[in-house]
Structure 1
Amino acid sequence: MLPRPPTHHKLLPEGLYISRWQEPGRAEADFGRFDAKKVVRNIYIMFSRSEIPIAQENQEIMDIVEPSTPLPSWFSEEDLATYGALYQKSGFQTALQVPYRSFLDRKSEHYNIPIPKVEVPALLIMAEMDYDFQFPGIEEYTRSGEAKKVVPSLDIIYIPEGTHFVQEQFPEHVNELILNFLTGHS
């Protein structure tokens, strides 16, 4: 639905987490320095900010977060323990493959798939404080109605204080929005 952002690492800032995580082995080495709980902790802290996570040239992504930085208020130590245990068991391969490594080869048949028109009602819940709005063109594309060219029956709802994990930050509100949308389109 969104315009295809550049996914080739040479088109993005070198220190951008997307660029780093697309490089096979780099995230694995970065994450491998810590237990899964610490990796999840750092990701939740980084992605709950309104700035795009970008590392310095001599820094890895996991080093962006200062060890003393607290978890977001809505993400508990119990949540962290649960997620950490799940990733300790499964690893991070799927999380790295989809979305970061799925379209690395621009010559692959998957990269050049035309964007289909979505003809069914759809709901997009956007967080106003999500760092995604910092990527060039994303906010304009979403707010201008351009997205409705691809998804004509798109309802967009903005949550003012929400961040990248808006569904976890405001679960009751997001559930209510989804249920209202489904009720209105049943």
Structure 2
Amino acid sequence: MEGIEHRTVEVNGIKMHIAEKGKEGPVVLFLHGFPELWYSWRHQIAALGSLGYRAVAPDLRGYGDTDVPSSVNSYTIFHLVGDIVALIDSLGVDQVFLVAHDWGAIVGWYLCLFRPERVKAYVCLSVPYLPRNPKVKPVDGMRALFGDDYYICRFQELGKMEAEIAKDSSEQVIKSMLTGRTTGPLILPKERFLSHPSTKPLPSWLSQEDVAYYASKFEKTGFSGGLNFYRNLNLNWELTAAWTGAQIKVPLKFITGDSDLVYTSSGTKQYIESGGFKKDVPNLEEVVIQEGVAHFNNQEAAEDISNHIYDFIKKF
């Protein structure tokens, strides 16, 4: 894409691919989710990079043109946050504006928890802060609530999940996941990742060229890297016991769609409306609920997201 440059940096023992636009100005760091890439932020990189900011988006560990360690235990939250701290160091700055979505948002929350001095302000999409429940491991809690076929529980199946995904083309998997509009708990059918591969035309915000780009990268890496983020949820719970009850003190704006499966199925709406979110994140300045928008709001409502980011970070 025009004006976006690509390079590889050494961080935390791995080679990480980053896309960036803008040489000067404050750094805006974008973290993607599953099953995505730096490319998920293409519209925001272009927008913020043209507004005097240095927009930077990596392929996270296990994705795209970044290294894909083979060990499941190489994807703990300490590894993922360590990668981002090293990336910030490599950019030659002390602080960044952080923008993150889905699993990137979770990494972002822990970055704010572990190293808040590195984050000037945070624009978080889709996934709110999930305070640690000292009594229940996260995957165990999800299994009790939604059953064994809940997608995060199914993702724990090492090797088996990869084999199921491989029954469909990477292009079909990407198309179905990015355009899915499930508003309840995401349940995966047994023995098959996609029960009915999508034959619907692509929405206006996602082109065949976009799908092909994602698919080309996942054809190379497979999906194990991304799945391994989920496979460390219980281990992360054990590793982060010392932060039980800790608050996030970074200034924050939260944006989600009213058709996002996270907002509609995991207690997020109640967490926000009850004041629990504000209690855990006292510097939460604004919550934006986008009407008619689903999970991948940085792509579906790209211009609106770019405007929200700029309106928030220009105050600092």
Aligned pair 1:62/2:194, yes or no? yes
Structure 2 length as normaliser, TM-score? 0.52
Aligned pairs, number:
181
Q: Report the RMSD for the aligned CA atoms in angstroms.
A: 2.4
Q: How does 1:4-83 map to 2 (within 5 A)?
A: 6-8=138-140, 10-11=143-144, 12-46=146-180, 48-56=181-189, 58-63=190-195, 65-83=196-214
How far apart are 1:3 and its partner, in Å?
4.4
Instruction: After superposing the two structures, state which structure 1 stretch, 25-34 or 175-184, moved more.
Output: 25-34
Aligned pair 1:153/2:283, yes or no? yes
* CA deviation map 1:115-169 (0-9, x unaligned): 5312121111111110112324221002222101111111211111110001100
Inter-CA distance 135–66: structure 2 relative to 1 (3 Å threshold): same
Inter-CA distance 176–88: structure 2 relative to 1 (3 Å threshold): same
SS of equivalent to 1:124: strand
Unaligned stretches of 5+ in structure 1?
Answer: none
SS of equivalent to 1:22: coil
* CA deviation map 1:25-73 (0-9, x unaligned): 2320111212221221221233x332332134x452322x344233334
Relative contact order higher in (CA < 8 Å, ≥ 6 apart): 1
Say which of 69, 88, 95 aligns to 2:226. 95
Residue 142 of structure 1 corresponds to: 272
Cα distance between partner residues in 2 of 1:43 and 1:112 = 35
Inter-CA distance 113–30: structure 2 relative to 1 (3 Å threshold): farther
Asked if the contact 1:37–1:81 (Cα under 8 Å) also holds between the matched residues in 2, the reply is: yes
- Give the percent of matched residue pairs that are identical in Structure 1 and Structure 2: 27
Residue 170 of structure 1 corresponds to: 301
Please identify which structure carries the higher strand content. Answer: 2
SS of equivalent to 2:149: coil
Cα distance between partner residues in 2 of 1:39 and 1:66 = 8
Unaligned stretches of 5+ in structure 2?
Answer: 1-128
Instruction: After superposing the two structures, state which structure 1 stretch, 4-13 or 156-165, moved more.
Output: 4-13
How far apart are 1:113 and its partner, in Å?
4.1
Asked if the contact 2:175–2:198 (Cα under 8 Å) also holds between the matched residues in 1, the reply is: no
Instruction: After superposing the two structures, state which structure 1 stretch, 169-178 or 14-23, moved more.
Output: 14-23
- Report the AA paired with residue 61 of structure 1: F
Cα distance between partner residues in 1 of 2:260 and 2:267 = 14
